[in-house]
Amino acid sequence: MTRELHPDRPLVAGNWKMNGTPASARVLVAELVSRLADRPPAEVLILPPFTALEAVGAFLGGDPRVRLGAQNCHWEPKGAFTGEISAPMLESLCDYVLVGHSERRHLLGESDEVVRRKLGAVLEAGLLPILAVGETGAEREGGLTAEVVERQTRAGLEGLSPSQVALCTIAYEPVWAIGTGATATPEDATTAAELIHRVVAEMAGSAVVVRVLYGGSVTAANAASLVRARGVMGALVGGASLKAEEFAAIVAAAG
Ligand code: 13P
């Protein structure tokens, strides 16, 4: 089954990372939904830890305003991979799966090839991938931003058909901006987004348009300029997504 995708609607995604128990996740999502408009101006996605997906999904009870995603998956559907979670195991729990987050690339050593295989596994399971790409501070200082963003985007999408590429969302998250309070300027976000759109068009044809999100120290205060920067169609939010009031304000700013 293919999940619904609305590429012309902004997406504001909250990556909760390794935070929260099932019980505290329920409290956070309850506070979030109480602060969302009846018709939020963006698709709202939260990515709780695996262990809280079921509790959050049960709490939401099909509330159409909030969708769920996982932060990672393994590339194989099953097998002897102790401690791992596969895409088919997530299929009944969420709609999206994030792959290639920089914390996994840089802290856990995931290569472009591993990310590509994970993205393929997400599609194979009928789920929607979000591919994260972005340069480190050293790469930026070395003038390598465009090269890294292009390489990671190409590697992640390699071998996909145009209709598969159309199911992807790509998050530009400069590593130096994650959790640091430093953000890219809207112009930086636009430059990276336009590069990603060009690569997607080269690989899948100009009829395929994917959403590009910006991530890295997005807050309620800076969301308005970043979430709708030219070429950008939403945000991938870390720390601020753990505060319901602030995350709801970021969603509101996407309109
Ligand atoms: P921060 O918003 O905390 O900088 O994190 C961004 C991020 O990594 C989202 O995936």
Longest CA–CA separation in the chain, Å: 48
Instruction: Give the start-to-end residue ranges of the domains of the chain.
Output: 11-253
Residue from 43, 74, 101, 197 carrying the catalytic annotation: 101
Mean pLDDT value across residues 34-50:
97
- Sign of the torsion formed by the C-alpha atoms of 240, 241, 242 and 247: positive
Structure confidence by residue, pLDDT tens digits, 157-195:
999 999 999 999 999 999 999 999 999 999 999 999 999
> Amino acid identity of 200?
V
Known catalytic membership, residue 246: no
Q: Which atom of ligand 1 is nearest to the CA of 236?
A: 9
Known catalytic membership, residue 202: no
Q: 2: pLDDT confidence band, cut at 50, 70 and 90?
A: low
Mean pLDDT value across residues 214-225:
96
Measured in Å, residue 10 CA sits from the centre of ligand 1 at 17
Rounded distance between C-alpha atoms, residue 224 and residue 31, angstroms: 22
Structure confidence by residue, pLDDT tens digits, 112-142:
999 999 999 999 999 999 999 999 999 999 9
Give Cα separations from 183 to 96, 175, 179, 215, 236 (angstroms): 25, 10, 9, 9, 13
- Specify the CATH architecture of the domain 11-253: Alpha-Beta Barrel (3.20)
Any atom of ligand 1 within 6 Å of the Cβ of 215: yes
Q: Which atom of ligand 1 is nearest to the CA of 132?
A: 10
- How much of the chain, in percent, has pLDDT values that exceed 70? 99
Q: What is the pLDDT of residue 3?
A: 84
Mean pLDDT value across residues 84-104:
98
Any atom of ligand 1 within 6 Å of the Cβ of 15: yes
Measured in Å, residue 183 CA sits from the centre of ligand 1 at 10
Contact 29, 61 (CB under 8 A): no
Structure confidence by residue, pLDDT tens digits, 7-28:
999 999 999 999 999 999 999 9
Residue 181 burial class via C-beta count within 10 angstroms: exposed 0-12, middle 13-18, buried 19 and up:
exposed
Mean pLDDT value across residues 238-253:
98
Angle at 208 between CA 102 and CA 204, to 5 degrees: 75
Write out the two tokens for 92.
Answer: 């009944």
Q: 255: pLDDT confidence band, cut at 50, 70 and 90?
A: confident
Any atom of ligand 1 within 6 Å of the Cβ of 217: yes
Any atom of ligand 1 within 6 Å of the Cβ of 160: no
Q: Which atom of ligand 1 is nearest to the CA of 240?
A: 2
Question: What is the model's pTM?
Answer: 0.98
In the predicted structure, residue 1 carries a pLDDT above the cut 80? no
Q: What is the pLDDT of residue 251?
A: 98
Contact 73, 126 (CB under 8 A): no
- How much of the chain, in percent, has pLDDT values that exceed 90? 96
Mean pLDDT value across residues 66-88:
98
Which residues partner with 234 through β-bridges? 11
Any atom of ligand 1 within 6 Å of the Cβ of 241: no
Mean pLDDT value across residues 23-49:
98
Rounded distance between C-alpha atoms, residue 94 and residue 34, angstroms: 21
